[in-house]
Homo-oligomer: A and B are copies of this chain.
Amino acid sequence: MSAKLNLDKLDLDIIHHMMENAEISYADLGKKLFVSGGTIHVRIKKLQEAKVVKGTKLSADLKLLGYDVIAFIGIYLKESSLYDAVAKELQKIPEIVRLNYTTGNYSMFAEIVCKDISQLRYVLHDQLQKIKGIERTETFISLEESFNRNVKVAS
């Protein structure tokens, strides 16, 4: 499936550090990992070419931006063959930020980010229920996010 990659401890340490903070300079990261800044640069270039790392993303505080509601939605489909068609419709709704096709109770599993409960209600009631193929949905509103972190890729 996925190409064979030969990543050593240094590669993983670099990824691990920069998944948390990509603003550190190569020189400073090199000091932490006991190599030169040049070596960090060479490794990152290799990782980019191998498509293991794919750029950096700004991390923003959604609450401060006015997005106070995060919810998860379990979706039951009328037939599982409708997955692609429904996924396409869901992608048109900008509040739906993530969609997974899953095993278990639900056919698909979505995450939604809204400004407030009334916007959530609008998306759930007026947008989702109009999509052909969706049988019904179950919503789990997040009251608190305990943590949200990256998997620990390095020892």
A residues with a Cβ closer than 8 A to B are 2-3, 5, 7, 12, 15, 18-23, 50-65, 67, 70, 72, 74, 87, 90-91, 94-95, 97-106, 108-109, 113, 138-153
CA distance A145 to B54 in the complex (A): 17
Cα-based distance from A149 to B98 in the complex (angstroms) = 6
Q: How far is the CA of A113 from the CA of B151 in the complex (A)?
A: 7
Per a CB cutoff under 8 Å, which of B7, B21, B51, B101 touches A57? B21
Residue among B57, B62, B106, B138 making CB contact with A151, cutoff 8 Å? B62
**A60 to B11 Cα, complex, angstroms:** 12
How many copies of this chain does one complex carry? Answer: 2
The reply to whether B23 and A55 contact each other, CB–CB distance below 8 Å, is yes
Q: Which residues of chain B are within 8 angstroms of A153 by Cβ–Cβ distance? A: 60, 65, 67
Q: For A106, what are the chain B residues with a Cβ–Cβ distance below 8 Å?
A: 140
Are B145 and A100 in contact, with the CB atoms below 8 A? yes
In this complex, what residue of B is CB-closest to A18?
B58
Residues of chain B within 8 A of A146, CB atoms compared: 87, 90-91, 99-101, 108
